Amino acid sequence: MENQDLIKQVTEKAEKWLTPAYDAETQAEVKRMLDNEDKTDLIEAFYKDLEFGTGGLRGIMGVGTNRMNIYTVGAATQGLSNYLLENFKDLPQISVVVGHDSRNNSRLFAESSAQIFSANGIKVYLFDGMRPTPEMSFAIRYLGCQSGIILTASHNPKEYNGYKAYWDDGAQVLAPHDKGIIDEVNKIASAADIKFKGNSELIHIIGEDIDKKYLDAVRTVSIDPEVIQRQKDLSIVYTPIHGTGAVLIPRALKDWGFDNVHTVPEQMVPDGNFSTVVSPNPENAEALSMAVDLAKKLDADLVMASDPDADRVGIACKDDKGNWVLVNGNQTCLIYLYYIITQYKKLGKMTGKEFVVKTIVTTELIKKIADKNGIEMMDCYTGFKWIAREIRLVEGQKVYIGGGEESYGFLAEDFVRDKDAVSACCLIAEVAAWAKDQGKTLYELLLDIYVEYGYSKEKGISVVKPGKSGADEIKQMMTNFRNTPPKEIAGSKVVVIKDFQTLKMTDAQGHISEIDMPDKSNVLQYFTEDGTKVSVRPSGTEPKIKFYVEVHADMPTRADFEKAEATADLKIKAVLQSLGVE
């Protein structure tokens, strides 16, 4: 009976898509699903509405209320338009930037959105083709726009697309605007509420003009151009994994002075099916395999890969035995900030107002580096909108020199307000050149950082608990951790507990103090006497609870790396066992 009720509900929703407000192709597909005896497709497409959340839209492409299509994208754009018209009603002309990646339907969704914005009297700067997300962020600021959107599902599988909304500072929307936009989007009842018929006079195509300004700005990120000149033959292999990085990253590397850059030809082709990889995610070794194969043939120094919208970068380099190894997100962030801070000091660029930012689940070694060098370090929640917020709060008073997170995102500048693989690729190439100038590889540089600041290893574990019972179990796990926190973890006493749900911090003596954060978040952190850090949080989008573990080990010399790693692995295993995580 319950299933029949669901079929009745989705049938009623689907029949509303058989009106003239929807195009003939959409109506035909809806009719096919309605007529099919197997109602699986119908249920999946209509059992709920694709929600416009604080990160925008993301979902599988197709017909239906629970899918990415011109109508769900159109509702998002109409809602955003209504919110902009209310918030900037005193401006003579509201303007937005519209960008997109290489995914299937991204151009269609971008053009549809441009039509809707213009139909609402909003001026649109539409990129002439696919472009990196950070360039869209740059364009909002450069053109003085009030908002911007990018059609991308980042590193998700090929079936997905997404829609991210940005505010006038070039960052993804935060409170109160995120909730305000969501309210407006939720008011759009059907396609009849969306103004699809645009005003071509309000749509301006942009491309090379913005590319040049953006690349000029990216070039200013270089700290030591002379070291690049000395090492301009550094052998680099780069792949955009069929994405937007192909448009600008090889060009940016050339601008910086790198003359020996090789691309993976098969992956330079824009391809929404990402046909040469299982997943276009630079966190996965498989996504870099073609680039590493080319690097082996060329005996290259460095491999870099950007995700489809070119906001994240994955890198690989040779270890001391000549084997190619991936450098993880924590290590990459560590290398960037170590290089920036030490070079700023060495070259006399410090003014005393500099600061760096990391997310709360990113390695604490960054804080050690910042503290030792007298640089302010700020912690924020996961997501670059929070890093952008820190930049905005002290704009004009302090100088942002870099920030990143363990999930492979880094931003070295403040003229963009989202993670930026274009500048990040150029900067990691400069770091590799600097290392080579000293007779080191990038791998050896990483080991030297560990020798100077101590070795740490980080590991993320996701425990999946499907269904309603799983959701209840996850909730109970968080309640148990919160109400009866561990007194020790893997034999080391817990000395600090941070609860970001209550914004309270408790030390070993039981003293409670406030945590200064902009919002509450269901995250718990435990710090132990031996420097171990454990972060626990339920996923907001999937049926899983996540554990982030960071442990430390002694590493007095490079030769002690393998021993330190083995010690850390055993410690991580002990930490997970003591927390009851399998």
How many whole angstroms from its chain centre is CA 91?
32
CB burial class (10 A; 0-12, 13-18, 19+) of residue 560? middle
Helices (H), 36-176: 40-46, 70-87, 106-119, 133-143
pLDDT tens for each residue of 83-105: 999 999 999 999 999 999 999 99
Is the per-residue pLDDT at 540 higher than 80?
no
Confidence at residue 1, expressed as pLDDT on a 0 to 100 scale = 36
455-464 and 354-359: which strand pairing? unpaired
Tokens, residue 478? 């968080």
Q: Mind telling me the catalytic residues?
A: 154
Question: Which CATH number fits the domain that encloses residue 559?
Answer: 3.30.310
Say if residue 40 is in the same domain as residue 20: yes
Per-residue pLDDT at 502 exceeds 70:
yes
- Reported as a single tens digit per residue, the pLDDT across 67-87 is 999 999 999 999 999 999 999
Please name every residue paired with 360 in a beta bridge, in sequence order, or none if there are none: none
Domain boundary among 182, 206, 230: 206
pLDDT at 54 over 90: no
For residue 332, being part of any structural domain is answered with: yes
Residue type, 46: F
Residue at which a domain ends, from 430, 451, 472: 451
Q: What average pLDDT does range 192-200 have in this prediction?
A: 97
3-state secondary structure of 231: coil
| Burial 118-146, CB ≥16 within 10 A → b, else e | bbbebbbbbbeebbbbbbbbbbbbbbebb
What mean pLDDT is predicted for residues 383-389? 96
Residues 475 and 331 in one domain: no
Examine the domain organization and report whether 299 and 431 are in the same domain: yes
Lowest mean pLDDT of 40-54, 306-320, 373-387, 557-571, name the range. 40-54
Give the three-state DSSP class for 545: strand
| H helical segments located in 40-69 | 40-46
Q: What residue numbers bound the domain in which 23 lies?
A: 1-47
Question: In this structure, which amino acid lies at residue 84?
Answer: L
End position of a domain, from candidates 398, 423, 451:
451
Q: Which residues of 486-501 are buried (b: 16+ CB within 10 A; e: fewer)?
A: beebbebebbebbbbe
Task: Report d(CA 339, CA 223) in Å as an integer.
Answer: 9
Radius of gyration of the chain, Cα coordinates, nearest whole angstrom = 25
- Say how many C-beta atoms besides its own lie within 10 A of residue 408's C-beta: 27
| pLDDT, average across residues 277-300 | 97
Q: Are residues 393 and 477 in the same domain?
A: no
Q: Which residues contact 578 (CB under 8 A, 6 or more apart)?
A: 486, 488, 489, 490, 491
Domain count along the chain: 4
Q: For residue 363, give the nearest of 521, 555, 556, 533 by alpha carbon.
A: 533
Is residue 373 within 8 A of residue 342, CB to CB? The reply is yes
Residue corresponding to tokens 């899983």: 544
The mean pLDDT of 513-527, rounded to a whole number, is: 96
Farthest CA pair distance, the chain:
74
Assess whether 414 and 509 both reside in one domain: no
The verdict on 218 and 346 lying in the same domain is yes
- Residue 501 domain flag: yes
> pTM for the whole thing?
0.95
Please report whether residue 59 resides in a domain. no
Residues in the chain: 582
C-alpha torsion sign, points 378, 384, 386, 392: positive
Tell me, yes or no, whether 115 and 170 share the same domain: yes
The single residue listed with the structure tokens 């330079």 is 268
Structure tokens at 65: 């209320």
Q: Are 411 and 420 in contact (CB under 8 A)?
A: yes
What is the predicted pLDDT for the residue at 469?
81
What does the pLDDT read at residue 471?
Answer: 83
The answer to whether residue 54 is domain-embedded is no
Q: Find the CATH number of the domain harbouring 177.
A: 3.40.120.10
Spatial distance between the Cα atoms of 519 and 99, rounded to a whole number of angstroms: 30
% of the chain exceeding 70 in pLDDT? 99
Residue found under tokens 């995700």:
307
**What is residue 85's predicted lDDT score, i.e. its pLDDT?**
98
pLDDT score of 541: 64
Q: What are phi and psi of 231, to 5 degrees?
A: -120, 35
Q: Which two three-digit tokens encode residue 101?
A: 């990646």
Give the confidence band of 422 by pLDDT, cuts at 50, 70, 90: very high
Q: Is residue 53 in some structural domain?
A: no
Does the residue 461 lie in any domain? yes
Asked if 193 and 161 touch (Cβ cutoff 8 Å), the reply is no
Mean pLDDT computed over every residue of the chain: 96
How far apart, in whole angstroms, are the C-alpha atoms of residue 457 and residue 563? 12
Residue 2 pLDDT > 60: no
Q: Would you say residue 150 lies in a domain?
A: yes
Q: Is residue 122 within 8 Å of 96, Cβ to Cβ?
A: yes
Residue 482 shares a structural domain with residue 352:
no
Same domain, residue pair 382 and 294? yes
Quick one: 40 and 81 in the same domain?
no
**Cβ pair 452, 339 in contact under 8 A:** no
Residues 222, 371, single domain; the answer is yes
Same domain, 316 and 428: yes
